[in-house]
Amino acid sequence: MPETLVALYIFVLSCFIGYWVIWGVTPSLHTPLIALTNAISGIVIVGALLVTGLEGVGTTAEIIGFFAVLLASINVFGGFLVTNRMLAMFNKKKR
Amino acid sequence: MMEISANVQAIAYLVSAILFILALKGLTHPASARRGNYLAMAGMAIAIVATLMGSEVRSYGFILAGVVVGGVIGTVIAMRIQMTAMPQLVAALHSFVGMAAVLVAIGTFLNKQADGLLNGVLMGELSAGIIIGAITFSGSVIAFGKLQGIISGRPVQFKGQHLLNALLAIATIGFAVHFALTESTVSLAIMTLLAFILGFTLIIPIGGADMPVIVSMLNSYSGWAAAATGFTLQNNLLIIVGALVGFSGAILSLIMCRAMNRSIFNVVFGGFGTAAVEGDGVADAAQKGVKSAAIEDAIYWMEDANKVIIIPGYGMAVAQAQHSMKELMEQLEARGVEVKFAIHPVAGRMPGHMNVLLAEADIPYENVVEMDEINPEFATADVVLVVGANDVVNPAAKDDPTSPIYGMPVLDAGKAHHVFVIKRSMRPGYSGIENRLYYQDNTSLIFGDAKDVSEGMVNQLKGAAH
């Protein structure tokens, strides 16, 4: 099977997982859910690392990659920390 | 740095993907949610380390600089942001993902071009990544502007809008195809530019009341952008995570649309609430036959009530009144009054917006009730206090087929014995629709800022206790 087709398989099956998992999320946590998925979509940082760190990378690509790493890092750090802050508030009142 | 083989890296990515799935699963309950967030953090850390240790990454200077600067910026923002500003923050972060996806695609193009590794399929995937990323970016920038109040929240509409969008979309795809077939850098540039413009023209017509849908939708786009990047780089982790996030946002959009009884098509292309009339003030309100009340009147009915239901809306967020709501709740509970908060799914500017604010104010989970659960209780409530909510309590949605919001599920606030509405002015809500609740016999309006009024209530109750 060609690689692109394998990728398509994985994509479609992941969509199903996403579909079933997300319906279970309680409405009161919808804002943290958006913040968390937003942090998780910072996974494009992996792509940014691959672009920037390539052996013999051109200067233009390296600079473009740098900004991609920067933006994705804001997302990863900002997204996870703000989610944590919010969830701490929800946990606090469980007591 | 120690190097790991491609197989070890693939296993690490798998572990990371599983952690992300479990993280999302954790959000099914507040008790497990925080652990979920930690799992996601672990997943991200594993993914990043595995990538850095792989054979493909050879130079670390720019990477380190990017992570450090981005990490500091992200941390500072996350620590300082006010909870009321969450919708704006999320919109801004979505735009970053979109832009990062565009940059990754362009960088990949340059790298592959230098190595002579370009082919039609790859360029098609690159185009998809750039188009989705660019639309996510400019759409999110507009959403941010609207939420932050930099751009008017009113729908901006003009003739031929749909035609323009359709033409833009066709042209964008046309240039993408040309690029994939010919490797033309000019086509790539034009395609990218058009996609940025398309994101702008798609979101600008959408009004503030529809922001919960738009925030969810852009959340979804940011996921698809990551998935498209995964296809480009043949990176399965990105594909899996992109699909999870994409679906998460899509489902939230759907839930929000249902809560407004509108189709996603209608939200995206409908342009809602064009009939907005500018505010007329208190004098005009009296003319139209609404009763205005003083804080004392509301206190009089509330302190002896058995049950008080508070309905918060965007106005509470704007006024930062959540903390005085908590005090009000405590004062009333001390008098033996049962206090509940009723949450409409689209109250506020993003899904779950009110829940976060009430959580911030330390209002217990059990006192916060979703619409379907609380609606039967309104008939037995002595007092309903509406704090900065509008369309979500409009009875016209139930019984006036001519109303633009007819069919939308609403909170049955009007069924309570007494309804007090805290409002700045008689200005209609974001959607610009007249609210029939205000003219009911059992409704009184308290004019003022939500925070000032609720603090006034708290002070009165405290004073009476002495």
Q: Is A20 on the interface with B (CB under 8 A)?
A: no
Cβ contact, residue pair A27, B345, below 8 Å: yes
Across B46-50, B93-97, B388-392, B424-428, least confident range: B424-428
Interface of A with B in 51-80 (CB under 8 A): 51-58, 60-80
Model pLDDT, residue B379: 93
Judged against a pLDDT cut of 50, whether residue B31 lies above it is answered with yes
Is B217 in CB contact (< 8 Å) with chain A? no
Grouping H, G, I as helix, E, B as strand and the rest as coil, residue B370 is strand
Out of B391, B399, B400, B441, which one is annotated catalytic? B391
pLDDT of amino acid B428: 61
pLDDT (0 to 100) of residue B279: 41
Look at residue B51 in the predicted model and tell me its pLDDT: 95
Average pLDDT over residues B257-265: 84
DSSP collapsed to 3 states, chain A: CCHHHHHHHHHHHHHHHHHHHHHCCCHHHHHHHHHHHHHHHHHHHHHHHHHHCECCCCHHHHHHHHHHHHHHHHHHHHHHHHHHHHHHHHHHCCC
pLDDT score at B287 = 54
pLDDT at B404: 78
Answer yes or no: B382 catalytic.
no
Contact between B355 and A31 using a beta-carbon 8 Å cutoff: yes
**Residue A95: its pLDDT value, please?**
43
So what's the pLDDT on residue B429?
Answer: 58
pLDDT for A59-91, tens place per residue?
Answer: 999 999 999 999 999 999 999 999 999 999 887
Taking CB atoms and an 8 Å cutoff, what residues of chain B touch A74?
A: 70-71, 73-74, 77, 93, 96
Question: Which pLDDT score is estimated for B277?
Answer: 39
Beta strands in B187-298, from DSSP E residues, in sequence order: 291-292
The pLDDT tens digits of the residues spanning B269-293 come to: 765 544 333 344 444 545 567 888 8
Higher pLDDT, B241 or B435: B241
- Give CA–CA dist A47/B222, Å, rounded: 14
Q: Cα–Cα distance between B386 and B422 in angstroms, integer? A: 6
B241 neighbourhood in chain A, CB within 8 Å: 40-41, 43
- Residue A39 and residue B24: Cα distance in Å, rounded? 12
Place of tokens 């599920």: B409
Per-residue confidence band for B398, with pLDDT thresholds at 50, 70 and 90: confident
Predicted pLDDT of residue B160? 80
Q: Which residues of B touch A20 (CB under 8 A)?
A: none
Residue B272 Cα, gap to closest chain A Cα (Å): 23
B292 forms bridges with which residues in the sheet? B445
Query: How close B84 comes to chain A (CA, Å)?
Result: 11
**Distance, CA of B325 to CA of B92 (rounded, Å):** 29
Q: Please report the ipTM that was assigned to this predicted complex.
A: 0.95
Q: Answer whether B244 touches A (CB < 8 Å).
A: yes
How many whole angstroms separate alpha carbon B308 and alpha carbon B393?
Answer: 16
What is the average per-residue pLDDT within B247-267? 87
Above 80 in pLDDT, residue B153? no
Computed over every residue of chain B, the mean pLDDT equals: 89
Please report the pLDDT score of residue B401 as a whole number: 85
